[in-house]
Structure 1
């Protein structure tokens, strides 16, 4: 029998990636490919980036293997029933038929899609830092802030696919305007670009999260304050989520989550202020156990682990999933 592989696709505000993932949650060496996305990209350029990574990954399948399905994790919001995506930080795509695009590239292969935050939660519950946890919040802190939930050991699916989108929970003590129309949303405070933007209002001259990380490591006071601000907002959002859902673990990945270990310390300190509620303070806030492979592994879970990845709602096109 051919070795079954999932073709995993992760579409976000900075890049799109695709890779082949085996049934143990491991990426097939040499199959991972990346192309840029971004706020200034045209729809045509985005379509081209997606097509390139999907074709390259699919072509890399070993002779003894078979691609049995495609799993897509995409920054939200998404629309599962229509198979469309409208990533907040990619304005060229509003209601874009991403599922249909990929079905056309790999005809005859079933395609399933979920929000990227749910994919990271599935990955952490499968082979990452959330193994054994009944109630898990997976978070991505990067260009945006996404999230997804595993509750009572099962993925928390939702009608449109946007459940668990913790990046647009409003956090107390902040009034930053958010692109979603709200104020004080976690993404508006704690995403990488928004944290750097805040630091620049305080005199920081760097331009990227990497610049901020270097300045933080060197003890720059503005960088220290910026990371504390972001971590505090993350901790407050986690506290609110844990009050609502009685979480065991919050596993956080994404590029900006690695700006400094202090980000996690500040989040835990904000959580610890809930001194009257032992059930809130018991939640563990941990880095992703999967480095930057988590979103791809989670997308693959939609294919390899139907009881965990879910009997996902049909996603347009052929409805395969």
Structure 2
């Protein structure tokens, strides 16, 4: 079980603890200064109230630490969050509302720096550190999955904003007359590009209406040439490209990395995204905007670890 480390626990000056928290799973790892993962464990995110969810996280932390005492901790969590006060209210973890995650984790790990970041920021930072963005000066990282998250890295640091929630690309409005979004707005990127919303749109158009299917099935059908599946992926790609170009012209960057479950569709997603980006990115300073697939399977976890290392810099 997780708990405050004993005085006998070994202090390892060469490692940090990275934690990645999402609505589906929680992961934790001991990570070296070069980005090498020494120990990693993951568990499903449990349902339940705030204490039930945290108890599972505490057990995970205790399991991954063993006898090692990391010198800092980085946490990537689904948002929104209050970075200043260390509070989280993930949309997809209903038991946590203004939950004091930083203070509670610090009770487990002892008196070491604990840094909190949005999971999309951590994904971007991980890919920037050791993945597809490692040669870029500035990068936009996007996770396309059950939702659409994002993060921006400039000069090796995540762009956080006042509250720590900057770069919520999934909630950039790209259609003023669009569908209602879970955030309360309308026509957000996420309403067109997330896996569940694409599946729902395809089924409304007559695709596999009597089956229980997901985005992986939709992408396989699109790859096989199904007209409805292809059209829905094109709609999602157009919305995603509009969000990408809006962000690029605002922040002035040319490197984009996309990961997440829906990104596993490969060319079914990337071909139309690249086509729409080329069509929409007309200003000279974004004319060479590149969009690449992520290279890391655990970018969010590594990005959380990088947050921890940066507290010691």
**Matching residue within 300, 303, 311 for 1:298:** 303
Equivalent position of 1:287 in the other structure: 293
Contact 1:274 1:281 in 2 (8 A): no
Equivalent position of 2:99 in the other structure: 96
CA distance in 1, matches of 2:49, 2:98: 14
Equivalent position of 1:319 in the other structure: none
Contact 1:13 1:144 in 2 (8 A): no
Deviation at 1:247, TM superposition (A): 1.1
Equivalent position of 1:37 in the other structure: 45
5 Å matches for 1:217-256?
217-256=223-262
Q: CA RMSD in A?
A: 2.2
Q: What's the CA shift string for 1:197-233, capped at 9, x where partnerless?
A: 2222223334222332333333333322222222221
1:110–1:87 distance in 2 versus 1, CA, 3 Å: same
Q: What's the CA shift string for 1:273-319, capped at 9, x where partnerless?
A: 136423223111111121x2100000000122348xxx8xxxxxxxx
Equivalent position of 2:56 in the other structure: 49
5 Å matches for 1:12-31?
12-28=22-38, 31=39
CA distance in 1, matches of 2:51, 2:19: 18
Contact 1:212 1:259 in 2 (8 A): no
Deviation at 1:85, TM superposition (A): 0.7
Deviation at 1:117, TM superposition (A): 1.5
Equivalent position of 1:83 in the other structure: 86
Structure 1: gaps of 5 or more residues? 312-321
Q: Any idea what SS the aligned residue of 2:72 has? A: strand
Q: Any idea what SS the aligned residue of 2:117 has? A: strand
CA distance in 2, matches of 1:152, 1:134: 6
TM-score of the superposed pair, with normalisation by structure 1: 0.86
Q: Is residue 2:77 matched to residue 1:70?
A: no
Contact 2:28 2:61 in 1 (8 A): yes
Equivalent position of 2:184 in the other structure: 181
1:96–1:207 distance in 2 versus 1, CA, 3 Å: farther
Equivalent position of 2:141 in the other structure: 138
CA distance in 1, matches of 2:234, 2:266: 10
Q: Is residue 2:13 matched to residue 1:6?
A: no
Structure 2: gaps of 5 or more residues? 1-10
Contact 2:223 2:268 in 1 (8 A): no
Q: Any idea what SS the aligned residue of 1:143 has? A: coil
